[in-house]
Amino acid sequence: MKEEELHEAGEELYEHHRFVADAGQNPLRIDKFLFNLLGNTSRNKIQEAGRSGSLRVNSKVVKANYRVKAGDLVQVVLAHPPREIELIPEDIPLDILYEDQDVCILNKQAGMVVHPAYGHYKGTLVNALLHHMKSLPQVKEHERPGLVHRLDKDTSGVMVVALNDYALSHLSRQFFERSTDRLYTALVWGDVKEAEGRIVGHIGRSLQDRKQMAVFPEGNMGKHAVTHYRVLERFGFTTLVECRLETGRTHQIRVHMKYAGHTLFGDQRYGGNKILKGLNTAKYKQFIQNCFELMPHQALHARTLGIGHPRSEKRLSFHTELPPAFEALCAKWRTYSSALSTD
């Protein structure tokens, strides 16, 4: 039995495993077949993947009792939540847009880390969800909120959280198959010339700075990534754009827009917290400084998320308005741009 490939997304938290059964493989239930190969995965998790349609043999969906035969191509998409260093429930307010027994849709605030990690052991979205779930009678005590995607600490907007293993597996498959709809609003430096466009370029860890991601246009490193953009409003030295993710790599919009010559406004990690376009005057410099103080992080908001409900498969779409600071930032640029055009 040979493992052909393993895919693990950046912003999307799942693994895609692909195996080809050896010529000498005797018929064996697929859940046992995969359990023997995936040492860190429970058989129950594999069975949940089968119930949610995330098991495939020779490109066809199968159940967990399918018997793998010699030469079969076996594929499975498994939810792969990040290691939770501390699971301490905390009474942190959540802006919940929708909730039922399977999913919780919420509007994450900028400044909130999604899950516990080194340097962020408390105050995360997961800590808040653990406290919130205590009040949900349909959620068993041992279950934990399941992340299938994440947003950067300083990116606000809509997220979906799975409330049981079935939903976790089903949603992971949707993100893997790119059947979700994700729209972001971003303010970027410069006047984006084309009304709309498509940015294609592999994204991987930067060779110069391991805290940053970078685009590898030749595709020799990193992972395939595609971002679609559309201009919403022009402010002269900055542009408000809508970005649609086709893939979900770490920092994808931030890295792709910088690669296209339009770094996100206020993005400290990628140099957007400096004056990249505009006038060399004291008045303009003060204006930009006031903008940075108004919104001291990247101007990026996850505005819309569309998913298929894990159980009913009904299409659900959720929309969130720009946070007040982001709205105020756009208003400030709108006023400045208008005054500039009349000078």
What pLDDT, on the 0 to 100 scale, is given for residue 54? 87
More confident residue, 5 or 101: 101
CATH topology of domain 96-174: Pseudouridine synthase (3.30.2350)
Instruction: Tell me the pLDDT band of 39, cut-offs 50, 70 and 90.
Output: low
What pLDDT, on the 0 to 100 scale, is given for residue 312? 93
The average pLDDT across 188-192 equals 98
Reduce the DSSP state of residue 120 to 3 states and report it: strand
Structure tokens at 247: 């893939």
Specify the residue for token string 């895609």.
16
Beta bridge partners of 79: 14
Residues carrying CATH 3.10.290.10, the chain: 2-79
More confident residue, 40 or 283: 283
- Label residues 183-214 b or e (16+ Cβ within 10 Å = b): bbbbbbbbebeeeeeebbbbbbeeeeeeebbb
Q: Catalytic residue positions? A: 152
- Could you tell me the CA-to-CA distances from 86 to 77, 130, 299 in Å, in that order? 26, 11, 30
Specify the residue for token string 């499975």.
76
Instruction: Tell me the pLDDT band of 14, cut-offs 50, 70 and 90.
Output: confident
Show Cβ contacts of residue 98 under 8 Å, excluding neighbours closer than 6 positions.
104, 105, 316, 318
Instruction: Tell me the pLDDT band of 148, cut-offs 50, 70 and 90.
Output: confident
Give the pTM: 0.81
256-260 contacts at long range (C-beta below 8 A, 24 or more positions apart): 256/199, 256/201, 256/203, 256/215, 256/225, 256/227, 257/186, 257/188, 257/199, 257/227, 257/229, 259/199, 259/201, 259/215, 259/217, 260/197, 260/199
What pLDDT, on the 0 to 100 scale, is given for residue 140? 45
What pLDDT, on the 0 to 100 scale, is given for residue 340? 82
Per-residue pLDDT at 6 exceeds 70: no
Q: 182-303+320-342 belongs to which CATH class? A: alpha beta
With beta carbons less than 8 A apart as the criterion, state whether 78 and 286 touch. Answer: no
Nearest CA to 185 among 30, 308, 330?
A: 330
226-234 vs 2-8, strand pairing mode: unpaired
Q: Tell whether the torsion through CA atoms of 167, 173, 178 and 184 is positive or negative.
A: positive
Nearest CA to 6 among 66, 71, 77, 87?
A: 77
The average pLDDT across 332-338 equals 96
Nearest CA to 299 among 336, 341, 339, 331?
A: 331
Percent share of the chain, pLDDT over 90 = 61
Per-residue pLDDT at 93 exceeds 90: yes
Q: Which amino acid is at 249?
A: R
Reduce the DSSP state of residue 232 to 3 states and report it: strand
What pLDDT, on the 0 to 100 scale, is given for residue 213? 94
Instruction: Tell me the pLDDT band of 219, cut-offs 50, 70 and 90.
Output: confident
Per-residue pLDDT at 217 exceeds 60: yes
Specify the residue for token string 């605030």.
109
Mean pLDDT, the chain, rounded, equals 88
Question: What does the pLDDT look like over 122-137, one tens digit per residue?
Answer: 888 988 988 887 654 4
Show Cβ contacts of residue 339 under 8 Å, excluding neighbours closer than 6 positions.
none
The average pLDDT across 96-113 equals 95
More confident residue, 138 or 301: 301
Instruction: Tell me the pLDDT band of 281, cut-offs 50, 70 and 90.
Output: very high
Question: What does the pLDDT look like over 251-279, one tens digit per residue?
Answer: 999 999 999 999 999 999 999 999 999 99
What pLDDT, on the 0 to 100 scale, is given for residue 81? 55
Find the range with the poorest average confidence among 25-34, 39-48, 166-175.
Answer: 39-48
With beta carbons less than 8 A apart as the criterion, state whether 224 and 202 touch. Answer: yes
Rg (CA), the chain: 22
Per-residue pLDDT at 138 exceeds 70: no
**Count of alpha carbons within 13 angstroms of residue 18, beta-carbon side:** 9
Per-residue pLDDT at 167 exceeds 70: yes
End-to-end CA distance of the chain: 72
Percent share of the chain, pLDDT over 70 = 90
What pLDDT, on the 0 to 100 scale, is given for residue 7? 43
2-79 CATH, one of 3.20.20.70, 3.40.720.10, 3.30.565.10, 3.10.290.10 = 3.10.290.10
The average pLDDT across 197-208 equals 93
Residues carrying CATH 3.30.2350.10, the chain: 96-174, 182-303+320-342
Per-residue pLDDT at 318 exceeds 60: yes
Instruction: Tell me the pLDDT band of 286, cut-offs 50, 70 and 90.
Output: very high
